[in-house]
Amino acid sequence: MTFRKLTSLDAQFLAMEDGRAHGHVSVLSTYAPYTADGRRLTAEVIRDLVAERLPLLPPFRWRLVRVPFDLDHPYWVDADDVDVTYHVQESALRAPGDDRRLADHVAEIIARPLDRSRPLWEIHVISGLADDSVALLIKMHHAAVDGVSGAEVLRVLLDDTAEGQPVVAPHSVEPQHRPSQAELLGRGLTNMCRYPARSIRAAVRALPHLDEVPTLRGVPGVSTVARHSRSAKAILERTNTAEGTDLVAPRTRFQTAISPRRSVAFGSVSLAEVRAVKDHFGCSINDVVMAMCASGLRSWLADEGELPDGPLLSFVPVSVRTPEQTGTFGNRVTVMMAELPTDEADPVERLHRAQATMTAAKLRHQALPASLLEDANDLIPPALFARATGTALRHGAAFLQPAVNAAISNVPGSPTTLYCAGAEQLSQFPISGVLHGVGLNITVFSYRKELSIGIVVDRDQLDDPWPLLDAVRDALTDLTAAISRPTSA
């Protein structure tokens, strides 16, 4: 039986939830309507698949248990019985069943929180698509998985061939004693006594870098604390004082508190064209993605009459999971901040600047402790953590200097065809989440020969994100055209 305490980083994705912000992330895929053995891909087929592979999916069995009085972060325990019928739900689109109708339906689903009395996941089987394909929307809570461990879950659910793979159940483990509320209270009180020492260790690592933590960098005084901490560390270690970050995010419509409603747009571009741009200009695929996002935002903001004079600022999740941590799930992630050169008019120069800003961001990131986000959270006692985090995120969006303008992520996916219960996966799109003060998320997956783009926004900030998606895709057209453009002597 699982009995595992959430880290402060895991718990942050719970603490941020307030009925408007949600801590789950999702992936939307479309499939051929029939499996290899001729069955229609239905919720019943997916329920059978999940039930068969449930022993290989720990996050699908984990249920939250709170410590009395919230004296410590919650624990995961194995649910006594996972009701697969509840977790795998079925719905159908209204005609015409096109991408926009699917996106609206997905937006409604991700706007609903997961039920904390159950394991924190859902799979929605969606029929009624115009081409007769079947869509699956998989929702998982970020407290249980990050991008890498979420991909591990998908690898269990999906197969490399239509015939599937043999399911080998893990070795049985001796059942653990399920703690009572009194025992949890005792653990909480014990950990409270240990908190001061843990907090001091976290402070030594975190304080010199607090201005690199997106959720804290806009708080008055944080940059001063970080600067003095760097100076003190340099004196003690007899090294040069490290430079802090002077990146500034201008305020846009997305830097306010969010509503409970979401809007979604998704689409794809040719991976071959992205690689052609990468090879011609001597950069990485991620540089091209960042340049496309910068170009799309520049074009869309200009059309709206809202383009700031200076560049936008994004945060980019970075996995710090080691090979030894594979299969442990939870969160092993940090973030780096990178400018989006939305103030640059020329698309090629914009790409070069995106490459330069990503290189600079990586250099700054290498100087940061891998545990920075968790260390920063550990500065707050668990008994106050949920209230402090929720209040800071909700009210800070209105009164503090914006930390960043958008969340942008690029996740490599499978170059070969995948199958679910024997049905061919036709496409795969990331559907992430938004936060108070960061009402725009652009995430990119690669699958087969395409780069798939998912945009999620707060509906009250932007009700129609499709023009923004079109602008991001048009940016690749501009860069592709620049390949054949003669260079000036």
pLDDT of residue 253: 97
Does residue 268 share a domain with residue 140? Answer: no
Residue 320 has pLDDT above 50, yes or no: yes
Query: Does 286 lie in the same domain as 144?
Result: no
Could you tell me if 418 and 277 lie in one domain? yes
pLDDT score, position 113: 97
**What are the b/e assignments for 96-115, b being 16+ CB within 10 Å?**
ebeeebbbebbbebbbebbe
pTM for the model stands at: 0.93
Amino acid at 109: I
User: Is residue 332 domain-shared with residue 461, that is, in the same domain?
Assistant: yes
Question: For 371-413, how does the pLDDT look when each residue is reduced to its tens digit (9 = 90+)?
Answer: 899 998 888 888 888 777 777 777 677 777 888 999 999 999 9
What is the DSSP-derived secondary structure letter of residue 145? B
pLDDT on residue 214:
83
Q: What is the CATH number of the domain that holds 357?
A: 3.30.559.30
Mean model confidence pLDDT for the chain: 91
| Model pLDDT, residue 166 | 79
**Residue 218 CB partners (closer than 8 Å, separation 6+):** 396, 400, 401, 402, 403
- At residue 392, the pLDDT reads 74
Alpha helices in 147-284, H assignment, sequence order: 147-157, 181-206, 222-237, 271-281
- Extract long-range pairs of 158-163: CB within 8 Å, 24+ residues apart: 158/418, 158/419, 158/420, 158/425, 159/418, 159/419, 159/420, 159/422, 160/416, 160/418, 160/419, 161/419, 162/35, 162/36, 162/419, 162/422, 162/423, 162/424, 163/36, 163/422
Other CB atoms within 10 Å distance of the CB of residue 445: 24
What's the pLDDT at 304?
97
- Distances 479 to 191, 260, 297, 349 between C-alpha atoms, Å: 55, 37, 15, 10
Residue where a domain stops, chosen among 139, 157, 175? 157
In the predicted structure, residue 368 carries a pLDDT above the cut 90: no
Region 20-29: mean pLDDT is 97
With respect to residue 460, please indicate whether it lies within any of the assigned structural domains.
yes
Q: What is the mean pLDDT of residues 97-104?
A: 97
What gap in Å lies between CA 124 and CA 49, rounded to an integer?
A: 14
Same domain, 320 and 445: yes
Q: Is the pLDDT of residue 33 over 50?
A: yes
Q: What confidence category does residue 241 fall into, taking pLDDT thresholds of 50, 70 and 90?
A: low
Count of C-beta atoms within a 10 Å radius of residue 279: 10
Q: What pLDDT digit, counting tens, does each position of 419-429 carry?
A: 999 999 999 99
Q: Is the pLDDT of residue 173 over 70?
A: no
In sequence order, what E strands does 52-155 have?
62-65, 75-78, 88-92, 121-127, 134-141
| Terminal CA-CA length for the chain | 69
Share of the chain above pLDDT 70, in %: 95
Nearest 5°: the CA angle 132, 135, 136 is 155
Structure confidence at residue 489 (pLDDT): 43
Residue 302 lies in a domain: yes
More reliable by pLDDT, 112 or 320: 112
pLDDT value at residue 210: 86
As for how many domains the chain has, the answer is 2
In a domain, 218, yes or no: no
| pLDDT at residue 332 is higher than 80 | yes
Whole-number pLDDT of residue 243: 63
Residue 211 domain-assigned? no
Cis bond before residue 96 (omega within 30° of 0): yes
Domain hosting residue 81, numbered range? 3-157
One domain, residues 315 and 442: yes
Q: Can you give the CATH number for the domain in which 56 is found?
A: 3.30.559.10
In a domain, 65, yes or no: yes
Band (pLDDT 50/70/90 cuts) for residue 172 is low
- At residue 174, the pLDDT reads 55
253-268 pLDDT, tens per residue? Answer: 999 999 999 999 999 9
* Better pLDDT: 487 or 380: 380
Question: Are residues 449 and 303 part of one domain?
Answer: yes
Same domain, 286 and 431: yes
Residue 242 confidence (pLDDT) = 58
Q: How confident is the model at residue 244 (pLDDT cuts 50, 70, 90)?
A: low
Q: Give the pLDDT band of residue 103 (cuts 50, 70, 90).
A: very high
Residue pair 441/406 in contact by the 8 Å Cβ criterion: yes
Residue 148 resides in a domain: yes
- Pick the residue with more confidence: 438 or 219? 438
Q: What is the average pLDDT across 413-418?
A: 96
Residue 245 has a pLDDT of 66
- Among 141, 157, 173, the domain-final residue is 157
Q: Which of 131, 157, 183 is the last residue of a domain?
A: 157
The band of 179, judged by pLDDT with boundaries at 50, 70 and 90, is confident
Q: Which two tokens stand for residue 448?
A: 């087969």
Instruction: Name residues whose C-beta falls within 8 Å of residue 143's C-beta, 6 or more positions apart in sequence.
Output: 6, 10, 11, 13, 14, 23, 64, 120, 331
The residue assigned the tokens 């559907």 is: 431
Q: What is the pLDDT of residue 171?
A: 60
Q: Would 29 be classed as within a structural domain?
A: yes
My answer on whether 320 and 457 are in the same domain is yes
Residue 461 domain flag: yes
